[in-house]
Structure 1
Amino acid sequence: MNCRNFLRTAALSSAAFAFLAFSTSANAQKKYDTGASDTEIKIGNIIPYSGPASAYGIIGKMEEAYFKMINDQGGINGRKITFVSYDDAYSPAKAVEQTRKLVESDEVLFVFGPLGTPSNTAILKYLNAKKVPQLFVATGATKFGEYKTSPWTMGWQPAYQSEGRIFAQYAMTEKPNGKIAVFYQNDDLGKDMLKGLKDGLGEKASMIVAEDSYEVSEPTIDSHIVKMKASGADIFVSISTPKFAAQAIKKVAEIGWKPMFFQSNVGSSVGAVMRPAGIDNAQGVLSLAYAKDAIDPQWKDDEGMKKYLDFLAKYAPFANPAESSAAYGYGQAQTVVQVLKQAGDDLTRANIMKQAASLKDFAPDTLLPGVKINTSATDFYPIEQLRMMRFTGEKWDVFGPPIDSKLGG
């Protein structure tokens, strides 16, 4: 071999070795657990598409539509999202069955946005034992942010206890001598917010003169509302999901009761609650907000809302802009996409939880100005700011500054 050929061969060998070393290094950086590959990220979900909480089914449909948009844009780091969503009918037993199917048969990377306190309670121990992320649960029960006991579980929306404390502060300021009747769903949703209300009232907890709970299996809650009025209360706190929130608002108006009316955020949708209850009946109802109302004209020039409405027109024409649950699903999906972007090529379950706990001032398009998502290894409560709002005309009017309700460390 002459000198020139030797040098050429040596150069080619060096280049091949360098390429091989680069390829090996690049591949070494890619880490996958079940449900992830070079081409796919498989996400599982359970939500009540049927049953007493079926009004929330729109959330799953919105998330599916959002992931379709992401896939149309090329996916996340070249990987397409496969979204597997099952109906649990708001039944804890069915939630367990469907979650096992997602993990053991569908082999998803993680479970995202499972809805409802009863369902999430039922699957929490299983997912933590399996070390499968139960990520951005759609419930504000405080237990879903307790990172020490449930390190694979994280909430998303503000905690119910925070809502209760803020309602208490407002009631004491506006009606310091008022009498409070509390109507609540008989599960962790109701009990958590009731605890927050009592904690917020502190020494004035005696303002509560009546407490009454309902079961989600009840066809109507009219008799409960009549009992609440009979207590002599002039402040009414309704801790209820859409079907029962609408019934409560309507019945309060029908019997001529005019208390200061607080409605929990989960039952405050204009499309799913206020309109079915009757717009006239809903006037003056108070609640708390962390997201923009898509039908409020004040957001017509807001860049985030423009993106959201454009998305609805192209990918979710089935959604009613008046439904707050539609915006909820969009915001949740946008948040999990941010986590996946941060995760890069390390798509292990451990890294998914690490990135979910590393969100800094992230602001989905649908959140109110000043409300941002922040998490850490000791703070599994992503959204911890709320603003008061009052139903006026055909929409909610937000008033006052963001109120920090921080529970995380």
Structure 2
Amino acid sequence: MLINTQRLAVASAALVIFAASSGGALAQKKYDTGATDTEIKIGNIMPYSGPASAYGIIGKTEAAYFKKINDAGGINGRKINFISYDDAYSPPKAVEQARKLVESDEVLLVFNSLGTPSNSAIQKYMNSKKVPQLFVATGATKWNDPKDFPWTMGWQPNYQSETQIYAKYLLKNKPDAKIAVLYQNDDYGKDYLKGLKDGLGPKAATMIVAEESFETSEPTIDNHIVKLKSTNADVFIDIATPKFAAQAIKKVAEVGWKPMHFLNNVSASVGSVIKPAGFENAQDIISAAYLKDASDKQWDNDPGMKEFYAFMNKDFPEGDKLDGGTVVGYGVAQTLVQVLKQCGDNLTRENVMKQAASLKDFRTEVLLPGIMINTGPTDYAPISSLQLMRFKGEKWDLFGEVINADAGG
């Protein structure tokens, strides 16, 4: 009888423990709109058409990568439902698409939406709705503002830091430079310009001899290049998206202008900018990089790039390996997958942002050696290092050390 009582007590205790642990397991699963036991809905906005359509390849790469993840079983057993819309690089259209994603499609988060003007247009809306606007595809400095916009986070190094690095290089190597600047007349272009002026400091007033802005609605920027050449500047800072960057490179060569040419990183793609502009026209252009260049043979035996090439061959064969956008799409998609893995079964919007702000020395292997992704509750700038590079032959050659952008200016 005593034995039976003991057995009953043990069984009861086990039942209580089992119930408690089961209840704990159930309690651990937390979902917001857009997440279930089987699915994670992710929204995206890309310029598949319009003046910045060259960037559409990023969204297509991400779709292919998430399909690869789904084919392998998803994230913690959940499949990604990736919903991507075109905004034609138009801020009003971006607002319309963001509302559709949040209110009709009911996504958990909006990921890697592209363009400074478009993201600026939806930032207040996303933050008022408390929906993550995560890893936006723009390097504007404003995305690192967790105090005022806790639901918005960038991914790539910020624009101001990049041009501060160019300024630092000029002050050291060409302190008597006469600089002509071409920039897109919006938040993106002005951010880069501010970084250049901040980097040059008091010398900006004498070193910059011309500032020429252009609108994305213009069919060509040829007249702006002709105007800048007439200033006799010996340094050209080229702040333009791919279509206009390619035009600028071509026109600079056509008019026989031979300045030291700096090209912003967002248009350094060999496939979508340099090749269309003509390799012969791009010799010695200087830019900055944080990702490996898929057209560079030095990475052929690199384990991380081998994985990238395998992905392109198997999962995205129609994509152009030489287009820098495919490397960007692959790298940022891997970063989101890491965040979602860290979320575990707590797929609330709040936890998504918490995990995105808890990345410690994370590497997607398409990053250049020595560059890590780090974030914190007060640091919404995941990547803050760059390396200068010069175009030679048909590829970019890296030179100098990896520069931490925070210390770059």
Confirm or deny a common fold (TM above 0.5).
yes
**Residue number in structure 2 paired with 1:253:** 253
- Report the equivalent of 1:132: 131
Q: Determine the structure 2 residue equivalent to 1:190.
A: 189
Match of 2:292 in 1: 292
- Relative to the length of structure 2, the TM-score reads 0.97
What is the CA–CA distance in structure 2 between the aligned matches of 1:367 and 1:101, rounded to whole Å? 33
**For 1:86, what is the secondary structure of its paired residue?**
strand
Q: If the length of structure 1 is used for normalisation, what is the TM-score?
A: 0.97
How does 1:307-346 map onto structure 2 within 5 Å?
307-346=307-346
1:366 paired with 2:366, answer: yes
State yes or no: 1:392 paired with 2:392: yes
Partner SS state of residue 170, structure 1:
helix
**Deviations 1:98-127, CA, capped at 9 Å, x for gaps:** 000100111111110000001000000000
Q: How many angstroms does 1:18 deviate by?
A: 3.1
Matched residue type, 1:31 = K
Alpha-carbon separation, structure 2, partners of 1:267 and 1:296:
17
Match of 1:62 in 2: 61
Report how far residue 204 of structure 1 moved.
Answer: 1.0
Aligned to 1:244: 244
Moved more, 399-408 or 329-338: 399-408
Instruction: Judge conservation of contact 1:48–1:57 (CA < 8 Å) in 2.
Output: yes
Per the alignment, in what secondary structure is the counterpart of residue 176 of structure 1? Answer: coil
Q: CA deviation at 1:176?
A: 1.2
1:386 and 1:23 map into 2 onto residues whose CA distance is 48
Residue aligning to 1:101: 100
Structure 1 unaligned spans of 5+:
none
Give the distance between the partners of 2:8 and 2:363, measured in 1 at CA. Answer: 55
Give, in whole Å, the separation in 1 of the partners of 2:310 and 2:361: 24
**1:196-229 deviations in whole A, cap 9, x for unaligned?**
0001101211100000001111100000000000
Residues 250 and 277 of structure 1 are in contact (CA less than 8 Å); yes or no, is this contact kept in structure 2? yes
The aligned runs of 1:45-124 (5 Å cut-off) are 45-124=44-123
Q: 1 CA distance for matches of 2:29 and 2:232?
A: 64
Contact 2:270–2:295 (8 Å) recurs in 1:
no
Amino acid at match of 2:386: L
Cα offset, 1:401, TM superposition: 0.7
* d(CA) in 2 for partners of 1:102, 1:333: 19
Q: Please give the residue correspondences for 1:194-233 in structure 2 after superposition, counting only pairs within 5 Å.
A: 194-205=193-204, 206-233=206-233
Q: Provide the residue aligned with 2:170 in structure 1.
A: 171
Question: Retained in 1: the 8 A contact 2:181–2:237?
Answer: yes
What amino acid maps onto 1:261 in structure 2? H
How much does 1:12 deviate?
5.2
SS of the residue 1:351 aligns to: helix
Aligned residue identity for 2:132? P
How large is the RMSD of aligned CA atoms in angstroms? 1.5
- Deviation of 1:93 after TM superposition, in Å, equals 0.5
Q: Which residue of 1 aligns with 2:306?
A: 306
Q: CA deviation at 1:290?
A: 0.3
| 3-state secondary structure, aligned to 1:401 | coil
Q: Which moved more, 1:163-172 or 1:111-120?
A: 163-172
Alignment partners' CA distance in 1, 2:312 and 2:65 = 9
Find the aligned partners of 2:71 and 2:4 in 1 and give their Cα distance: 49
Q: Secondary structure, in 3 states, of the residue corresponding to 1:111?
A: strand
Identity %: 67
| More displaced 10-residue stretch of structure 1: 252-261 or 291-300 | 291-300
Name the CA distance, whole Å, in 2 between partners of 1:223 and 1:338: 46
Rounded to whole Å, the distance in 1 between the matches of 2:3 and 2:313 is: 65
Structure 1 residue 14 displacement after superposition? 4.6
Partners of 1:178 and 1:235 within 8 A in 2: yes
Instruction: Give the secondary-structure state (helix, strand or coil) at the position aligned to 1:400.
Output: coil
- The residue aligned with 1:141 is 140
CA distance in 2, matches of 1:245, 1:174: 24
8 Å CA contact 1:381–1:407 kept in 2: the answer is no
Query: SS of the residue aligned with 1:49?
Result: coil
Contact 2:143 2:152 in 1 (8 A): yes
Instruction: Determine helix, strand or coil for the equivalent of 2:245.
Output: helix
Q: What's the offset of the Cα at 1:17?
A: 3.6
Q: Structure 2 stretches of 5 or more lacking a match? A: none
Displacement of 1:20 in angstroms is: 2.3
Equivalent residue number for residue 378 of structure 1: 378
